[in-house]
Amino acid sequence: MFALLLATAAIATAPAATLFVLQEYEAKGPITDTVLGLTGVNNIVCIVLFYTVFLILGSAGVLATTGALAERLWLALAMTTVGSIALGIVFGTLISIMHAKLPLAETLLVFFALFILLGAGEKWLLENNEGLSFNFLLTALVMGGVFANVAIDSQKLENALRTFGSPIFAGFFVIAGYGLHVGSLQQMGWLGIGYVLFRFLGKKLGCRIGVTWAGTPERTNGRLGAALLCQAAVVIGLASFVDDYWESQLARQFSTVVLGSVVIFEFIGPMLVKRCVVYGGEVKAATLLKRAGSAIGGGSIVRLTFQSLLRMFGAGLKRGKAGPEVMQVEHIMRTNVQFIRASATFDDVLHFIERSTYAHFPVVHDDGRFAGVIHFSDVRDVIYDPMVRGLVTAVDLTDPDSRTVAPDMTLTDLLEVFSSENVGVLPVAEQAGSNRIVGVVEQRDLLRALHLPQATK
């Protein structure tokens, strides 16, 4: 019983910590998308499965539940699972409609008003409905999933919410520390060590099996599971629920184990997320150099601030800065990129475009040779012609004269190429004159590296 509850709690992955690391390193690619998708699925499965297991065990008399929960277990199960999912769908659809009709500032007000309403509504139901209420965590997860998939240009609101993310993330540690009694840590012993160890092994083994079944590229194998180790908000909520509704000394031990593990997993988890996407080629070299730059030279924050003040008045040492003539394409390119196969059908091309964030799509032959680029305008001309759709393949839609760039090209030269080609993304060849593609470089990343404003299209 106790092991079963720990096992279901171990499924959860902290969405905030995982998302912050990916955003901090500007990770982008199939591995990043997979990590984010699995994080959401893990949390939904964890919450639904945990409450189901807990309430079934309570209904069977295996564990002693308190209050109205002991009398109406099946109603509580319906409210915390199906009811919470339905409420999340309604609120997610509502915020998506508001997002399309209102300015960003007003959308933010509606967004926070909905969250306050959810929090207050959960507490009101707990106090006035004899301890029965919906599950706030599951409702929020479903609400976010619906918004991300339904809203038009959802990235606009996501970028605005980043400002509030860090203090909320820090608050999770405060909550975990508040519920963690230091004296109880001595009782964890081998139980806590076993939970941490087997959760790590379970994530690794589960993802390895999934990668094998799905036929995912080998570069994700072995590291994807480690990228799902962050754990915070969801298990904190589960620990609080157990403390409130389980009359047993094991409830305190459960909270001690999972809250103690939060400290461990939130320390090593973000580093493993970073390692996964960096190894997978979804983080630009320039981003890594920028992140490392703050540590170069050492010194305290007071010393660094004082040096900055001196430089403002023209005094002190001026540190050299790498310009566009020093940086090259290899510093801002992404290597883990999915390409369209030349033999792909038109429907396969459309499916690829639906999942892509680009407007230009490199096409390669089965042996990796570059075939050309499909432009969205070319697909648009064919999509409404059913006779042609069944005849063409990806290679028939490509522009064979599409330009490629080499990894050692300077950013100044790359800017000229983008200006002449008028595209948003360029394939990167293995070397100058080669027809083997090793990645892509985006115009937006070039403009960020050069600190130039991005032109609206």
Taking only the tens place, the pLDDT of each residue in 324-335 is 456 788 888 888
Share of the chain above pLDDT 70, in %: 75
pLDDT tier, 174 (very low <50, low <70, confident <90, very high otherwise) = low
7-11, 60-64, 218-222, 360-364: least confident range: 218-222
- Give the closest residue to 281 by CA, choosing from 21, 27, 37: 27
pLDDT averaged over every residue in the chain: 76
Q: What is the mean pLDDT of residues 179-192?
A: 60
Q: What is the mean pLDDT of residues 228-253?
A: 81
First CA to last CA across the chain, in angstroms?
58
Domains, the chain, ranges and CATH?
2-283 (1.20.1530.20), 329-450 (3.10.580.10)
Q: Kindly provide the b/e burial profile for residues 435-455, where b requires at least 16 CB atoms within 10 angstroms of the residue's own CB.
A: eebbbbbbbebbbbbeeeeee
Residues 223/276, Cβ–Cβ less than 8 Å: yes
409 has pLDDT over 60:
yes
pLDDT tier, 302 (very low <50, low <70, confident <90, very high otherwise) = very low
Structure tokens at 276: 């996964």
Residue whose entry in the numeric block shows the structure tokens 């050299």: 320
Share of the chain above pLDDT 90, in %: 1
Q: What is the pLDDT of residue 450?
A: 78
54-68, 167-181, 207-221, 374-388: least confident range: 167-181
How many other CB atoms are there within 10 angstroms of residue 405's CB atom?
A: 21
- In angstroms, the CA 134 to CA 143 distance is 13
85-99, 227-241, 300-314, 422-436: least confident range: 300-314
